[in-house]
Amino acid sequence: MNKEKRYEILSRLRANNPHPTTELNFSTPFELLIAVILSAQSTDVGVNKATDKLYPIANTPEAIYALGVEGLTHYIKTIGLFNAKAKNVIETCRILIEKHGSVVPESREHLEALPGVGRKTANVVLNTAFGWPTIAVDTHIYRVSNRTKLAMGKNVDKVEEKLLKVVPAEFKVDVHHWLILHGRYTCIARKPRCGSCIIEDLCEFKDKTE
C-alpha cells in the first residue's frame, strides 16, 4: 500500500472518531492495568461487568491484595481463566505495593515484569494511561492490518513493527483504538461488513463482501 492511501485511511478513521479510547471501564492507571490483565481472551463487556462490581469495593493495590485470591475470585469468576488471572492480579498488587509505592510504573520494563503482563498489555497501559505512541496488536488489529494491506506481517510482532514504521506520528497515539474498533464492529472476522465500511474504496482486501 502506498503512503498516500495509508494517510487517507488513517485520516478517515480519525475524522470518524477523533478521540478514541478503550471500551474497558477505568478511572485510574491501576484500574486500567487490572482490567487489561483480566481481558486476556475475554471480552471487554465481560470484564466491565466484573470490574463494575469489584472497583467500588476495591480499586487500589492494597484493597485488592487484601481480598486475597479467594476474595478476588468471587468478583471475577464469570471471566475466562479466572483462577490464573486472580493469582496474577494478587501478585501484581503485591509487587506494586512492595516495589513501586503502589503506583503503576510508566516503564515498559517494569510493566512487563508484572505477572500476567506481556508486551500487548504493557502497550495498552503505556498508550491509554500514559499517552505513549505504542501500538498493541491484538487479533482485530492483526486482521485489519493484513486485510487492508495497511501493514502486513505474519505474526502480531511483525505487524506491530510495521505499523510503528509506516504510521505517521500524528496518528500513532490513536491508531490502535481505531483499528481495534474497526475490526470489532466493521471488519469482523467471519464476514467483513465491506458495504458499510468507510475505507472500502481504499482497502486492498481481495474478497470484499457486498
| Residues making up the binding site for [4Fe-4S] cluster | 187, 194, 197, 203
* Among the listed residues 53, 194, 206, 210, the single contact to ligand SF4 using CB under 6 A: 194
* Among the listed residues 126, 193, 206, 210, the single contact to ligand SF4 using CB under 6 A: 193
Grid cell digits, residue 117: 503482563
Q: What is the DSSP string of 15-40?
A: HH-SS---SS--SSHHHHHHHHHHTT
Q: Which of residues 126-155 bind ligand SF4 (CB under 6 A)?
A: 147-148
Q: Is 205 in the site for ligand SF4 (CB under 6 A)?
A: yes
Grid cell digits, residue 80: 475466562
Q: Is 159 in the site for ligand SF4 (CB under 6 A)?
A: no
Which one of 85, 120, 162, 174 is the catalytic residue? 120
Q: Is 1 in the site for ligand SF4 (CB under 6 A)?
A: no
CA separation for the pair 66, 45 (Å, rounded): 26
Catalytic, 120? Answer yes
Q: Is 8 in the site for ligand SF4 (CB under 6 A)?
A: no
Grid cell digits, residue 1: 500500500
Closest CA to 137 of 121, 150, 148, 149: 121
